[in-house]
Amino acid sequence: MEAIVAVLGIAIVLFAVITLAKSVRIVPQQRMDVVERLGKYKRTLSPGLNLLVPFIDAVRTKVDMREQVVSFPPQPVITSDNLVVSIDTVLYFKVVDPVRATYEISNFLQAIEQLTVTTLRNVIGSLDLERALTSREEINKHLSSVLDETTGRWGIKVTRVE
């Protein structure tokens, strides 16, 4: 009988510890956590100590709010005078709305890469080789404006394109 009471006591203590661990969430600085309650968006946790309803609330994603840099591999692009040029791209971006970055698109990094490649092919394809090599700033500005317009819907701000 005493063994059953001891096992029951240990189970209750273990349940209390697990419940406490699931209800307290510490979010580091420059990160936001998107919380769902029973599968539906509930709120966004800001940096610091946060409390959740254990077993009902769950953190869906942890979004890094710092500026990030992504380098895309060189892409072959055909200019208007039918010459193939290999162009590599470096993109600087920042997540400004973690909720939209989580729910508006499934993989924003892959989408940004594909959007960059297609836009770059369109821009370079309309230029001849000499103009493509000399109008780097113009290409960067055009690419940045197109990317910023599209990624703004996803809660992402493109800060610089090189």
The helix, strand and coil proportions of the chain, stated in percent and rounded to the nearest 5, come to 45, 35, 20
Express each pLDDT in 135-160 by its tens digit. Answer: 788 888 888 888 888 888 999 998 88
As a whole number, mean pLDDT of residues 70-91 equals 83
- Whole-number pLDDT of residue 68: 92
User: Higher confidence at residue 84 or residue 24?
Assistant: 24
CA distances in angstroms from 128 to 71, 119, 133, 140, 151, listed in the order given: 25, 16, 9, 16, 28
Report the run of H or E that residue 59 belongs to, with start and end.
strand 57-64
Q: Which fold has domain 67-161?
A: Tetrahydropterin Synthase; Chain A (3.30.479)
- The mean pLDDT of the chain is 87
Distance CA 66, CA 78 (A): 35
Quote the percentage of the chain above a pLDDT of 70: 100
30 φ, ψ to 5°? 65, 30
Residues in contact with 111: Cβ distance below 8 Å, sequence separation at least 6, in sequence order = 105, 154
pTM of the model: 0.79
- Whole-number pLDDT of residue 134: 77
- Whole-number pLDDT of residue 136: 80
- Whole-number pLDDT of residue 67: 94
The domain limits of the chain are 1-64, 67-161
Express each pLDDT in 31-59 by its tens digit. Answer: 999 999 998 999 999 999 999 998 899 99
- Whole-number pLDDT of residue 63: 93
* pLDDT range class, residue 64, cuts 50, 70, 90: very high
- Whole-number pLDDT of residue 138: 83
> Which single residue is written with the structure tokens 């892409």?
75
